[in-house]
Amino acid sequence: MTHWHITSWVVALILVFVSYGLYGAGKAKGAKITHMILRLFYIIIILTGAELFVRFANWNGEYAGKMLLGIITIGLMEMLVIRKKKGKSTGGLWIGFIIVLVLTVLLGLHLPIGFHVF
């Protein structure tokens, strides 16, 4: 299940950049399609993350923190795409998104079921 989860959030990150770029280029139809696919991946990420949480969590704060950071990351991804679609500024959201994404990935790699890079 860990591989499903990691694959789904990697694909979701790619789709965020594609959707963002398509909305910026004025290609609304292609952007809408990729945005809907991205929303499907949000659901996959949440379901696989919840399954990993229930299966492996020994109910300490790190797992709950990782889940909370993951949900915030998904929220920021959606807010970035929507604000770009509406033509509003996204500078501050990008900073927040990058910070929360890095924290989420680092905490995920630190937990026992993550890939031990460090």
For the cut 70, the answer to whether the pLDDT of residue 114 exceeds it is no
Query: Both tokens of residue 7?
Result: 């694959």
The residue type found at 86 is K
Average pLDDT over the chain, rounded to an integer: 91
> What is this structure's pTM?
0.88
* Domain ranges within the chain, ordered by starting residue: 2-110
Residue with the larger pLDDT of the pair 86 and 111:
86
The CA distance from 72 to 78, in Å, is 10
Q: What is the pLDDT of residues 15-59, one digit of tens each?
A: 999 999 999 999 999 999 999 999 999 999 999 999 988 887 676
Please, how many CA atoms are within 13 Å of residue 89, restricted to the half-sphere of its CB?
3
Angle between helices 61-86 and 28-56 (to 10 degrees): 170
